[in-house]
Structure 1
Amino acid sequence: MAADWRRAHLVERLPQTATARSLAFTVPGWPGHLAGQHVDVRLTGDDGYQAARSYSLAAPAEGERIELGVQAVADGEVSPYLADGLPVGADVEVRGPLGFWFVWRPEQTGPVLLVGGGSGVVPLTAMIRAHREAKSPSDFQLVYSVRTPEDFWYGDLLSEGADHLDVDVLYTRRAAPGSSRAPGRISADDLRGHVSRLAGAGTVFVCGPTAFVEAVSDHLVDLGRDSGSIRTERFG
């Protein structure tokens, strides 16, 4: 059962791309959450009008502090204000944590393949952070599809390297200098080597726009993955 609405106090805003931000809030009484979960965020106007949207949690639980990833959508009702208009020190309301299927738990020991498209990397980043904090020995791979190098979220975190984590960045419109892969949509060939490392075990987490998630899921099944081992989260 979803929790009641709680007050959330914005304490920090950090840029990720030209239009994407990570927002840190303190939420009194926050019960904690699992890597991969999300929350609903509700804004209330001076006239009483309310609007709510769902946003993924970008980091593991840290007391009463939560971090959200927000991509400003042109003509959006909520995201542009959260991304750039909400003053640090202001309050919103949040409800959650929500979702218990698309989650990674530190006690899981099987290999993991994460596949993210654009801002779909946000909940996967929470899993990567939780994996590092737990010093888990499980093998982690991230395949991250972005339009251009400027659209790369969490560049410092995902580029610094760590034990048991491999990152493969695929560009769809303009590749980074030195990239050996021509820009283009993710294909079965892009996933083949990563899937073979799973050796039939473990879990695949896929997050991104609906068309991206459906294409990746189809590729994974074509490569022999059991659909029951594929967990998806989609938007748009």
Structure 2
Amino acid sequence: MTEEGPRCPPPLAGSRRAPAAGPTDPSPGRRAAPAGGWRTATVRGVDRPTPRTVRLRLEVPDRVDHLAGQHYVVRLTAEDGYRAQRSYSVASAPGDPLVELLVERLDDGEVSTYLADVVEPGDQLEVRGPIGGWFVWTGDRPALLVGGGTGVVPFVSMLRTAAELGRADLLRLAVSTRTAAELPYVDELRAAGALVVTTRERSGIRPPGRLTAADLVPLWEPGQTAYVCGSTPFAEAASQLLVGLGVPAADVRVERFGPSGPA
């Protein structure tokens, strides 16, 4: 970054990865989710926990504290004025002084390639958040979290929030990933007691395979809200598993990730 401002990316093209839109109003009786406007954030940390992801730690001035499960929009502006923006779930807990985002690098991604390959500590980024009121956990109700791949990011925020509140007992988590090496936060998830299922390699004595209803039965208990996050195929399959087990559809909240289509 120069003193004149953040580096501007070249014109961008490709696909994106962003959470699908959903209702923004909280359930009756629940407090409204916070929302923040555009800010100029300073990148304070950059690291790559897996070969295809980058973790950004951002200092956001006059930040509005988020709820676990919310996301931020990152906007890039090219030298010719073209803009592209993408949404990324927050991994940090509200008490963290920095906002942590995890970005999966897509080879044809408009924004992810720049964030993964170019951004360095000290750079500035335009961000807006927190955003979202449907897929949030307020720390006061039991929940079953079912994530696929990088869909675990909002659940990391929920786990960290639970730790801050001393209520880790409220959360149970099942995760599906191709291999353990591809799963961001894998050590943190396992330390929190998450069931990690791998589809392309053995996991202990368990052969490779997808998440099953039998995996979820021991994790479910009455009164939980179920949160499902992952690719569209994963989210649909996991939701069907839960409903098939008897979880009321009204108690299942889903956030899907995937490539964007034409506006």
- TM-score between the two structures when normalised by the length of structure 1: 0.90
Aligned pair 1:184/2:209, yes or no? Answer: yes
Q: CA deviation at 1:139?
A: 3.1
State yes or no: 1:225 paired with 2:212.
no
Q: Which deviations, in whole Å up to 9, do the C-alpha atoms of 1:24-69 show, x marking residues without a partner?
A: 0011111110001001110111222111000000011246521101
Q: Does 1:216 align with 2:253?
A: no
Structure 1 residue 234 and structure 2 residue 256: aligned? Answer: yes
What's the counterpart of residue 6 of structure 1? Answer: 39
Kindly report structure 1 stretches of 4+ aligned residues shifted beyond 6 Å. Answer: none
Question: What corresponds to 1:151 in structure 2?
Answer: 182
- Which residue, out of 200, 206, 228, partners 1:173? 200
Task: Tell me the SS of whatever aligns to 2:219.
Answer: helix
Instruction: Write the distance in 1 (CA, Å) between the matches of 2:36 and 2:92.
Output: 19
Amino acid across the alignment from 1:66: V
Give the CA RMSD over aligned residues: 1.6
Shift of 1:138: 3.5
Matched, 1:20 2:53: yes
* Residues 243, 249 of structure 2: 8 Å contact kept: yes
1:27-46 alignment runs, 5 A limit: 27-46=60-79
Q: 2 CA distance for matches of 1:215 and 1:207?
A: 11
Query: TM-score, length-normalised on structure 2?
Result: 0.81
Quick one: which of 103, 125, 132 aligns to 1:99? 132
Q: Is the 8 A contact 1:29 1:64 kept in 2?
A: no
Q: Residue 132 of structure 1 aligns to a residue in which SS?
A: helix
- The CA distance in 2 between the partners of 1:44 and 1:232, in whole Å, is 31
Q: Give distance in 1, aligned partners of 2:43 and 2:37.
A: 19
Query: Cα offset for 1:112?
Result: 1.6
Unmatched runs of 5 consecutive residues or more in structure 1: none
Answering whether residue 154 of structure 2 is matched by residue 132 of structure 1, we say no
Q: CA deviation at 1:84?
A: 2.5
Q: Could you say which residue in structure 2 is the equivalent of 1:194?
A: 219
User: Which amino acid is the alignment partner of residue 135 of structure 2?
Assistant: F
CA distance in 2, matches of 1:63, 1:74: 31
1:146-193 per-residue CA deviation (whole Å, 9 max, x = no partner) reads 1012112113322334xxxx31000011234xx222212222222222
2:194 partner SS: strand
Aligned equivalents of 1:62, 1:12: Cα separation in 2: 17
- Select the structure with the greater relative contact order (CA < 8 A; seq sep ≥ 6): 2
1:12 to partner: Cα distance: 0.1
Is the CA contact (8 Å cut-off) linking 1:19 and 1:71 kept in structure 2?
yes
Q: Secondary structure, in 3 states, of the residue corresponding to 1:60?
A: coil
Q: Contact 1:32/1:63 (CA < 8 Å) preserved in 2? A: no
Residue 103 of structure 1 deviates from its aligned partner by 0.8
2-structure distance, mates of 1:61, 1:48? 34
2:226 to 179, 204, 207: 204
Aligned to 1:56: 89
* Partner of residue 76 from structure 1, selected from 97, 109, 115: 109
Determine helix, strand or coil for the equivalent of 1:233.
Answer: strand
